[in-house]
């Protein structure tokens, strides 16, 4: 069978035509695999009628929903290349991605009419504007109208394993976004390795709350449909409804980030709703505080911790709830069809306990950065992806992420990894979020500043926070200053935007 992601949906519809594939929570719409496949065929046929051909880029500016999923599979069926757009970006940021990718077709939700209007006035290559939702827009074709006139049978084109599937732009937390290019083949292997490493089962019901424009959402969603489960889709994350949804829809698994877990824990429904169907949740994008792991274990909910990148189509390392309790702070070992090394400056594997860069190899690693051969050559060596993340490894091969190379603080000649300090900070019961950055210092070269979010009803002073750290960290790692804030700036996937914090707190340090 050809590894064509669009054909995967058709095959699942053939095997399980009447099984529920997608549930939209807000609208109440429910679709079987046969219905989802027919809808994907219609948008594929509609795109062909608009002149979209194999290799053409189709940008998608939509919230989570069935239109997103069927557009993804529909584009895959005809070999078009999806360009998922982060709907939190401003028009000039979206302009860059549209221009860089050469996207001539844009599918968007009606709630983004103003954004689409702004993009029309910018230098984008978009020629075909297709709008989903109620109402009309004078310069856009109606999504439903196009699909109503299209065929529900398999489209007049197909893709192959080496064809491009999507270009996903990195979050840009440290600079200008780069487009990571993935093929049908890399997604196939990403789906397989997730299914073979985690306890995903046919018929599982997966809570889809992460935004589908991110690899941490799109890849698990593909894996779940590949496996034959049901995606229960929440348009955007709403912690006040999560446990009610788990009870009503009998959710068995899902993926969230630590910040979401914190918000969920604060909900009264956590103790009143039946969550017995929920076997596990996967947590990624940031380090998981051991306190959260223990709290959810007390509820009978296991938390897998995952480490991955856009460039790996998601998977890199995973640790089970059981092993995480035995090895606090570890992100585990490589996924099934994945190899991971921790490499020193001379290209050698580091000894246990030493810090090096994480290198990842597998059939799910990206093909390239779009139109950036030099950046590709820097990032990929002999099939190994150089992650830019620093880690240490123990005697049994378990990986412990230290930090991004660019986030490491050099203070008084000592390397300080903010993630380690942040883990200590969030272990304090009165702290729900924390980030550590470096500021220029005449005395130390760099000096570490902690930015802290205090839990509602708690009162903490700078001295309280420093004392908490002093009892748990070497002296040179203890933050020299602490500031308090209501919330940390994060991107849509839950990663703290350190570049924003550096802009807000430019320094220099007082010492």
Confidence of residue 174 (pLDDT cuts 50, 70, 90): very low
% of residues, the chain, pLDDT over 90 = 71
Alpha-carbon span 435 to 479, nearest angstrom? 11
Least confident of 27-41, 80-94, 227-241, 397-411: 397-411
The C-alpha R_g of the chain, in whole angstroms, comes to 23
pLDDT at residue 502, as a whole number:
87
The owner of tokens 């027919």 is 38
Range 426-432 average pLDDT: 89
Spelled out in words, what is the top-level CATH class assigned to the domain 409-504?
alpha beta
pLDDT digits (tens, 9 = 90+) for 249-260: 999 999 998 878
Q: State residue 411 phi and psi, 5-degree precision.
A: -125, 120
pLDDT digits (tens, 9 = 90+) for 483-497: 999 989 887 666 788
Give which of 336, 5, 11, 311 is closest to 162, Cα–Cα. Answer: 5
In the DSSP assignment, the letter for residue 267 is -
Question: What's the first-to-final CA gap in the chain, in angstroms?
Answer: 64
Identity of the highest mean pLDDT range in 51-65, 147-161, 341-355, 403-417: 51-65
Q: What is the mean pLDDT of the chain?
A: 91
Q: Is the per-residue pLDDT at 55 higher than 90?
A: yes
Confidence of residue 300 (pLDDT cuts 50, 70, 90): very high
pLDDT at residue 473, as a whole number:
82
Range 113-122 average pLDDT: 95
Q: Is the per-residue pLDDT at 188 higher than 50?
A: yes
Least confident of 129-133, 218-222, 493-497: 493-497
Domain with residues 5-18+28-183, CATH architecture = 3-Layer(aba) Sandwich (3.40)
Residue 406: partners with Cβ closer than 8 Å, 6 or more residues away: 174, 388
Asked if 68 and 60 count as a contact pair (C-beta separation under 8 A), the reply is yes
The H or E element that residue 401 is part of is strand 399-404
For residue 60, count other CB atoms closer than 10 A to its CB.
24
pLDDT at residue 286, as a whole number:
72
Strands 81-84 and 30-32: unpaired
Strands across the sheet containing 20-24: 30-32, 20-24, 230-233, 205-208, 253-256, 280-283, 302-307, 317-319, 333-334
Alpha-carbon span 83 to 103, nearest angstrom? 8
What are residue 128's DSSP bridge partners?
A: 105
Alpha-carbon span 267 to 429, nearest angstrom? 17
Least confident of 51-55, 118-122, 275-279, 423-427: 423-427
Asked if 334 and 384 count as a contact pair (C-beta separation under 8 A), the reply is no
Q: Is the per-residue pLDDT at 172 higher than 60?
A: no
Range 149-172 average pLDDT: 89
pLDDT at residue 57, as a whole number:
98
What are residue 404's DSSP bridge partners?
A: 389
Range 244-252 average pLDDT: 97
pLDDT at residue 98, as a whole number:
97
Range 100-124 average pLDDT: 96
Least confident of 188-192, 217-221, 408-412: 408-412
Asked if 57 and 167 count as a contact pair (C-beta separation under 8 A), the reply is yes
* Alpha helix positions (H), 112-155: 113-120, 143-148
Alpha-carbon span 500 to 496, nearest angstrom? 9
SS3 409: strand
SS3 491: coil
Task: Select the more confidently predicted residue: 177 or 342.
Answer: 342
CA distances from 99 to 55, 68, 119, 125 (A): 16, 21, 11, 6
Strands 280-283 and 128-132: unpaired
Give which of 476, 484, 490, 486 is closest to 505, Cα–Cα. Answer: 484
pLDDT at residue 171, as a whole number:
61
pLDDT at residue 475, as a whole number:
83
pLDDT at residue 173, as a whole number:
44
Alpha-carbon span 400 to 391, nearest angstrom? 5
Confidence of residue 498 (pLDDT cuts 50, 70, 90): confident
Alpha-carbon span 376 to 465, nearest angstrom? 42
% of residues, the chain, pLDDT over 70 = 97
Least confident of 55-69, 184-198, 301-315, 431-445: 431-445
Domain boundaries in the chain? 5-18+28-183, 409-504
């Amino acid at each position: 069978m050809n590894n064509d992601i669009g054909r995967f949906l058709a095959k699942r519809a053939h095997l399980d035509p009447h099984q529920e594939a997608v549930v939209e929570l807000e609208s109440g719409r429910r679709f079987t695999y046969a219905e989802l496949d027919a809808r994907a065929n219609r948008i594929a046929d509609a795109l062909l009628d608009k002149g979209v051909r194999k290799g053409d880029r189709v940008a998608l500016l939509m919230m989570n929903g069935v239109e997103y999923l069927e557009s993804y599979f529909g584009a895959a069926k005809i070999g078009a290349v999806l360009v998922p757009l982060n709907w939190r970006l401003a028009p000039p940021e979206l302009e860059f991605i549209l221009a860089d990718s050469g996207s001539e077709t844009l599918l968007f939700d009606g709630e983004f009419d103003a954004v689409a209007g702004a993009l029309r006035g910018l230098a984008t290559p978009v020629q075909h504007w297709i709008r989903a939702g109620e109402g009309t827009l004078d310069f856009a074709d109606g999504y439903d109208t196009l699909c109503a006139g299209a065929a529900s049978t398999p489209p007049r084109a197909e893709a192959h394993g080496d064809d491009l599937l999507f270009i996903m732009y990195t979050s840009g937390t440290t600079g200008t976004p780069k487009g990571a290019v993935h093929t049908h083949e890399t997604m196939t292997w990403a789906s397989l390795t997730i299914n073979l490493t985690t306890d995903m089962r046919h018929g599982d019901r997966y809570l889809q709350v992460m935004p589908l424009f991110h690899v941490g959402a799109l890849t698990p969603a593909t894996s779940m449909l590949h496996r034959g489960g049901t995606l229960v889709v929440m348009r955007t994350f709403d912690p006040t409804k999560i446990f009610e949804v788990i009870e009503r829809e009998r959710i068995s698994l899902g993926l969230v980030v630590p910040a979401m877990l914190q918000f969920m824990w604060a909900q009264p429904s956590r103790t009143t709703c039946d969550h017995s169907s929920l076997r596990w949740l996967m947590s990624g994008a940031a380090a998981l505080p051991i306190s959260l792991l223990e709290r959810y274990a007390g509820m009978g909910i296991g938390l897998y911790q995952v480490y991955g990148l856009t460039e790996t189509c998601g998977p890199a390392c995973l640790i089970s709830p059981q092993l995480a309790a035995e090895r606090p702070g570890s992100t585990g070992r490589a996924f099934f069809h994945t190899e991971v090394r921790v490499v020193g400056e001379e290209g050698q594997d580091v000894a246990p306990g030493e810090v090096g860069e994480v290198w990842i190899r597998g059939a799910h690693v990206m093909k390239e950065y779009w139109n950036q051969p030099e950046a590709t050559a820097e990032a990929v060596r002999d099939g190994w992806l150089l992650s830019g993340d620093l880690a240490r490894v123990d005697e049994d091969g378990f990986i412990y992420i230290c930090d991004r190379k660019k986030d490491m603080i050099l203070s008084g000649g000592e390397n300080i990894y903010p993630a380690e300090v942040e883990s200590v900070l969030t272990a304090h019961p009165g702290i729900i979020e924390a980030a550590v950055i470096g500021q220029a210092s005449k005395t130390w070269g760099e000096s570490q500043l902690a930015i802290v979010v205090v839990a509602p009803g708690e009162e903490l002073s700078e001295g309280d926070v420093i004392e908490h750290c002093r009892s748990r960290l070497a002296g040179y790692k203890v933050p020299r200053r602490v500031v308090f804030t209501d919330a940390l700036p994060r991107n849509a996937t839950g990663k703290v935007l350190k570049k924003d914090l550096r802009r807000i707190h430019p320094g220099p340090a007082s010492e």
